[in-house]
Structure 1
Amino acid sequence: YQWLFFEQYSHEPYIAVRKALLTFPERAGDATPERLAVTLERGNKALGVMNRHLENNAFFAGSALSVADIALYAYTHTAEQGGFQLDAYPAVSAWLGRVEADPGHVPIEWVG
């Protein structure tokens, strides 16, 4: 459960929120310079934690894709829309590729 808690308390509040502040017009009033700075700093910290783990592990909770990977993938793969530079986290970028290569992966833009 470690990575699910991490996603909820150390990842989503910064990566997802920063993206929302920058991309949804109705959130523009909440996008103060201070809040944007905090979400950027803490989001980068979360990406750093992820990168360090993924330098020695293919996935978050073992050697195969798990619910932890799915939970963390959701906001990580769109983090650049929030101003995060994923190329600074090569292990995270490689992991995103592994998740996307899974035969069961369905892109968010998918239309059935």
Structure 2
Amino acid sequence: MKVYGDSQSGNCYKVQLTCALLDIKHQWQPINILKGENSTPSFLNKSKSGKIPLLELDDGRCLIESNAIINYLAHGSSLLPTDPFLLAQVQQWQFFEQYSHEPYIAVARFIEKYLGLPDNRRKEYLSKQDGGYKALTVMERQLESTQYLIGDHLSTADISLFAYTHVANEGGFDLTSFPAINAWLARVKQQDGFISMENVN
């Protein structure tokens, strides 16, 4: 299988981390979105929206949306529960990540890290801080009572939230007042097969 993406993107890192934790062999195909490589006719033929990451299977079928990809890859493993309620809890956190976490933390990081915090985006950047801290507070409350987001075992819910949380400082977020999150980040990093964003392809 092939994975198309940007190794410094949190959404793409989710896929790379899942592959590393599950020892899934794949070919990494770098895509530079700032150069428009996700808008070429050949790429749009695989991803109609031009989104990355994109998973291309051996038979040519393609899948986009990072959380859908990692749940597909984790099917049948300990990272994805089979119990319907626990599975729904994983998806609950993944929806939270997409609608209450990523729009603030990931966007602020993109403006600062990718764009260099230009003056014409500074107001937007600052507007993301409040929402980002609210999302972190929700996570902190949960992780004060559980080791991982849905209990005592790592799941794709943790991978989804880890991706942008562990680099939240690159979007201006200070994690020093979130001890439960910091302990959780350390636990994720101690997993067998863990690979850091700096060491991915």
Structure-2-length-normalised TM-score: 0.52
Q: Distance in 1 between matches of 2:106 and 2:200?
A: 23
Deviation per residue, 1:31-87 (Å, 9 max, x gap)? 232x22321000000000000100001001221100000010000000001110111
The equivalent residue for 1:85 is: 174
C-alpha RMSD over aligned residues: 1.7
Q: Distance in 1 between matches of 2:146 and 2:187?
A: 12
Tell me the amino acid that sits aligned with residue 69 of structure 1: D
Tell me the amino acid that sits aligned with residue 109 of structure 2: K
Tell me the amino acid that sits aligned with residue 48 of structure 1: T
Structure-1-length-normalised TM-score: 0.91
Is it true that 1:50 corresponds to 2:50 in the alignment?
no
* Matching residue within 67, 74, 93 for 1:3: 93
Q: Distance in 2 between matches of 1:81 and 1:32?
A: 14
Cα distance 1:8–1:111, how it changes in 2: closer, same or farther (>3 A)? closer
CA contact (8 A) 1:22 1:31 kept: no
Q: Distance in 1 between matches of 2:135 and 2:110?
A: 17
Question: Structure 1: any 5+ residue segments left out of the alignment?
Answer: none
Q: Distance in 2 between matches of 1:63 and 1:27?
A: 38
Q: Distance in 1 between matches of 2:104 and 2:144?
A: 22
* Matching residue within 10, 14, 20 for 2:110: 20
* Matching residue within 145, 148, 152 for 1:59: 148
Of structures 1 and 2, the one scoring higher in RCO (CA 8 A, sep 6+) is: 1
Q: Distance in 1 between matches of 2:127 and 2:136?
A: 14
Is it true that 1:110 corresponds to 2:110 in the alignment?
no
Is it true that 1:99 corresponds to 2:175 in the alignment?
no
Structure number with higher strand proportion: 2
Largest Rg, 1 or 2: 2
Q: How many residues align?
A: 111
Q: Percent same amino acid at aligned positions?
A: 45
Structure 1 runs, 4 residues or longer, greater than 2 Å off: 25-30
Structure number with higher helix proportion: 1
